[in-house]
Amino acid sequence: MAVTGAYFAGNIDAIVEGTIINYSPEPTIVEGNPTLRFDQSSLVEVPAGFDINRIPTYDPASYAEVIS
């Protein structure tokens, strides 16, 4: 999972299949009482969908979050 900073809080229980890669100067923050499990059983050198010759950038105009 590629992120631009991440924030985990509260009592979450999550399994991440692979790795979290932060492509930002913003920190990844973990607060509260989270349980994060990383399943790397099928880990490969370059994760699917990643191109090591390109650097992802974030375009805020292309993103919208809807909370209902």
Asked if residues 25 and 58 have their Cβ atoms less than 8 Å apart, the reply is: no
Instruction: State percent of the chain over pLDDT 70.
Output: 88
pLDDT, tens digit, 9 for 90 and up, residues 23-54? 788 888 888 888 888 887 877 777 666 777 87
Outline where DSSP puts E strands in the chain: 2-3, 6-8, 13-17, 21-22, 28-30, 35-39
pLDDT band at 59; cut points 50, 70, 90: confident
Write down the pLDDT at residue 4. 82
List Cβ<8 Å contacts ≥24 apart for 45-51: 47/18, 47/19, 47/21, 50/2
pTM for the full predicted model: 0.48
Question: Residue ranges of the domains in the chain?
Answer: 2-62
